[in-house]
Amino acid sequence: MKFFNREKEINEILHILEGEPNLIYFIYGSINSGKTTLINHIINNELNDNYKVFYINFRTYLVSEKRDFIEAIFTTKKEGILEKIKNKSEVINLITKTTKTLTGVPIPEVEFNKLFEERINDAFQYLNDVFLETKKSGKTPILILDELQMIKDVTTNGQKYLLKELFQFLVSLTKEQHLCHVFCLTSDSLFAEYVYNTGELEDRADYILVDDFDKETALRFMDFLAKENRVSLSNRDKEKIYSYVGGKPILIYKVINDMRYKKLEDILNEMLKIEMSKLKKLLIRIKNGKYEGIKYNDVINALFLFKKEYITNEYNIDEDIKEFLIRKNILFLNPIEELIKPQSYLVWNAIKRVV
């Protein structure tokens, strides 16, 4: 899917990068709102060679303990340009000579193996050294932790210290040393809020919301995609699409792409049926007592708030029910505005028909 819009968010992030590192930034938004697409666009199209990006995507790992966490951050690949790495100085040479973005932080295998025998702080010290040498080489390091919520299992396996130490280290990189820009991407705003509290990040972190498109932008996006896909799209069609999927970029893309060989009415009805089926099955499991402490009537009452309104104050919903529905990707919380809404218009339409 080609990149579209997001000038406001791009300008905000570029403005941050032009200054010295001071804060950890949480880039958050509902599922498939375009967070990763945004950051990749900035990396590939907006940054010059004065920056060196270290990109780590936790989605590709099951991070439940220290070893998983370390393996997710570092790379010891032996093929190609990484084959000759034997010590830290060669890592620095590699970093300054390779492309702008590195997936993971290069490390000699012998040093990598030592990290499992020592304290987690040794891993952080290695990272600090790499970022420091990167800056000395004339390049500004940027650390991007994508799909941050994938490390939340660490907090439930007796290793809460690991999460806290990670963010204390990130504070050191930003607010204390002004060494490295740090961006954490997540669709789990509850987890971002938890990290904020656990990591003692008051006045040390900030939030950047990447939301679904507003209606005007969504309609322009439809025109853009229709032209790209050579699809005929009337104003009535656009209004109908928006009424079903709202401003969710990936859903708009799916609809326009499928219109090349399907009828619009069939596409939208099928998408809605699938979403309704998912919600019905979840409610059946709740009614059958599959989720301890979650009462069916409480969930229905919470969802009923969205029969007419798309957004409500988060305090209108019981805390446990709110967290449950967020974790099940039914609702999305904006912790800054203290507002809660369905994950998408499609989910909203399913709620209105099922509840």
pLDDT at 116: 67
Alpha carbons 310 and 298: distance in angstroms, whole number: 19
Same domain, 228 and 179: no
Among 171, 187, 209, the domain-final residue is 209
Clarify whether residues 150 and 106 are in a common domain. Answer: yes
pLDDT at 213 over 50: yes
223 and 78 within one domain:
no
CA atoms within 13 A on the CB side of 354: 25
Domain closes at, from 230, 262, 294: 262
Q: What pLDDT score was predicted for residue 345? A: 96
Q: Kindly indicate the confidence band of residue 90, based on its pLDDT and cuts at 50, 70 and 90.
A: low
Instruction: Point out the domain boundary residue: 185, 209, 233.
Output: 209
- For residue 288, name the pLDDT band (cuts at 50, 70, 90): very high
pLDDT in tens, 179-207: 999 999 998 878 777 777 766 788 899 99
- Which of the two residues, 147 and 288, has the higher pLDDT score? 288
274 within domain boundaries: no
| 307 and 346 co-located in one domain | yes
Look at residue 79 and tell me whether its pLDDT is greater than 50.
no
Q: Would residue 273 count as lying in a domain? A: no
Structural domain range at position 153: 7-209
- Residue 227 and residue 292 in one domain: no
268 within some domain: no
Which strands, in side-by-side order, build the sheet including 24-28?
101-103, 51-57, 140-146, 181-186, 24-28, 205-209
Q: What is the pLDDT of residues 50-74, one digit of tens each?
A: 999 999 988 877 777 777 888 888 8
Query: Mean of the pLDDT values across residues 333-339?
Result: 88
271: in domain: no
Answer yes or no: is 242 within a domain: yes
In a domain? residue 54: yes
Backbone angles phi, psi at 333, to 5 degrees: -105, 130
Residue 205 shares a structural domain with residue 216: no
Answer yes or no: is 94 within a domain. yes
Is a pLDDT exceeding 90 seen at residue 158?
A: no
Q: CA-to-CA distance for 91 and 12, rounded, in angstroms?
A: 32
Contact between 212 and 248 (Cβ < 8 Å): yes
Residues 251 and 196 grouped into a single domain = no
Q: What is the CATH number of the domain that holds 319?
A: 1.10.10.10
Residue 264 confidence class, pLDDT cut points 50, 70, 90:
very high
| pLDDT at residue 7 tops 80 | yes
- Length of the chain counted residue by residue: 355
Give CA torsion, residues 46, 147, 179, 127, to 10 deg.
-120
Model confidence at 120, in pLDDT bands (50, 70, 90)? low
When divided into structural domains, the chain yields a total of 3
Q: Residue 185: helix, strand or coil by DSSP?
A: strand
Provide mean pLDDT across the span 95-119. 74
In which element (H, E) is residue 15 found? Answer: helix 7-18
The beta strands (E) that lie in 104-173 are given as: 105-106, 140-146
Residues 238 and 202 in one domain: no
The yes-or-no verdict on residue 226 having pLDDT over 70 is yes
- Per-residue pLDDT at 268: 98
Same domain, 150 and 87: yes
70 and 38, same domain (yes or no): yes
CATH label of the domain that carries residue 54: 3.40.50.300
Asked if residue 1 belongs to a domain, the reply is no
pLDDT, mean over the chain:
87
Range from 88-97, 137-146, 223-232 carrying the lowest mean pLDDT: 88-97
Provide the pLDDT confidence category of residue 15 given band limits of 50, 70 and 90: very high
Same domain, yes or no: 340 and 315? yes
Task: Note whether 130 and 50 are same-domain residues.
Answer: yes
- In this prediction, residues 101-119 reach a mean pLDDT of 75
Lowest mean pLDDT among 194-203, 250-259, 336-345: 194-203
